[in-house]
Structure 1
């Protein structure tokens, strides 16, 4: 009985990801960007914990994999899309332009579908992971809301850029670590040190720069060590 209950824990945590993601969507459409971003971050915590729980309890399932992707489409696709839509509605081009924001959930879904069938992405990623994309948008809109309202074309250009990054073949490293070896996980440690520096200097405005740092560092590593990229 206990074993049967334990195997459902990862799916329960994934369901929490979906639940708080729905709240983020609602708040995003309402223009409550601070709280919408908070719930996106909370969804990211649950997204990490469900995988951790599945590995710890050895409770893997086909349903869990599908549920995880469906939850991520909402929490990390539709939620940031709702935030961007709300911002674009407040611009002088509010009749047509806001619908460009829905490219974020569309390309997030494409990214997740691609990830699910791509056997190369076991220890690293090809393209920007959807949680990182969502954190960028949540942080960018929270920090640069006023700028985006007066410069909507910059926001639209960023939407196109990040949609391209989601489905790109650019290798990006994973933060998953199975130990504390500096030699083995030097990439992750250097990235974390950069994140700490950004958090200390920018505090709650650091999230979008942290994702920009992640993208830049991933591309830099690929340029220096192209052989480390996942291959078929």
Structure 2
């Protein structure tokens, strides 16, 4: 029975993603964000439990990617689609007309994130280099980055930040860049820690502590900063290792 425990946790990740989708359709970004976070929590622990119980399997790997596709691929794509579609009410600010905006299928460009996530997850499943680290930004990290944007907009009182993050051109650029960085040949350290060798994961533990401090002090604004720090630390680690 124990071999089914990690798969059950993975299915909880998928269920969380489906619930997040329902809230995203209703423009309830706060609940969508919460359920994506819950899904990512389950996504971390399914692999951890599988390693502890020594029941890692090919089916578990495939199921994990399918669940991630919904929670960390479809949900962020839909959220950006909804953000771009809702700009319809303020089209005059950006000198847009219904013809140029919708006939140009601008809102649908948000799903570039979903396409990038699908490609990244498929590549991850057959890439033997990504057993102990990642190549390209993992989809959960990208999902948190994307969903932090509307969360920052809805919680900040700084109008300049709201105007910048609500700009449709910026949202399209972010969508394209996120798809690129998920599939870039950029080695990034994994946050998954093996419980029998904690001493070898000082970087990971330090990063988690720093992330908690930033979240407490900056709240949602900390999320994009944490993702940027994660990438920069990985680059530094790669350069140090080569030397």
Q: TM above 0.5, one fold?
A: yes
Structure 1: gaps (5+ residues):
none
**In the alignment, is the contact (CA less than 8 A) between 2:14 and 2:67 conserved in 1?**
yes
Q: 1:45 and 2:45 equivalent?
A: no
- Superposition deviation, residue 226 in structure 1: 5.4
CA distance in 2 between counterparts of 1:200 and 1:79 reads: 25
- Superposition deviation, residue 213 in structure 1: 1.8
> Which of 214, 217, 225 lines up with 2:240 in the alignment?
225
**In the alignment, is the contact (CA less than 8 A) between 1:87 and 1:148 conserved in 2?**
no
Q: 1:165 and 2:178 equivalent?
A: no
- Superposition deviation, residue 27 in structure 1: 1.4
Q: Summarize deviations over 1:159-179 as a string: whole Å, max 9, x none.
A: 111111000001111112233
**In the alignment, is the contact (CA less than 8 A) between 1:140 and 1:207 conserved in 2?**
no
CA distance in 2 between counterparts of 1:140 and 1:215 reads: 18
Which residue of structure 2 aligns with residue 139 of structure 1? 148
CA distance in 1 between counterparts of 2:53 and 2:21 reads: 31
Of the structure 1 ranges 139-148 and 113-122, higher mean CA displacement relative to structure 2 is found in 139-148
Q: Summarize deviations over 1:1-36 as a string: whole Å, max 9, x none.
A: xxxx22211111111111110111121222111111
**In the alignment, is the contact (CA less than 8 A) between 1:73 and 1:109 conserved in 2?**
yes
Which residue of structure 2 aligns with residue 75 of structure 1? 71
CA distance in 2 between counterparts of 1:106 and 1:85 reads: 13
Which residue of structure 1 aligns with residue 110 of structure 2? 101
- Superposition deviation, residue 158 in structure 1: 0.9
- TM, length-normalised to structure 1: 0.88
Shift in CA distance, 58/141, structure 1 to aligned 2, threshold 3 Å:
same
Structure 2: gaps (5+ residues):
155-161
- Superposition deviation, residue 46 in structure 1: 0.7
**In the alignment, is the contact (CA less than 8 A) between 2:76 and 2:113 conserved in 1?**
yes
Which residue of structure 1 aligns with residue 10 of structure 2? 14
**In the alignment, is the contact (CA less than 8 A) between 2:151 and 2:220 conserved in 1?**
no
Q: Summarize deviations over 1:24-68 as a string: whole Å, max 9, x none.
A: 112122211111111110000110111122112222222221111
**In the alignment, is the contact (CA less than 8 A) between 1:27 and 1:36 conserved in 2?**
yes
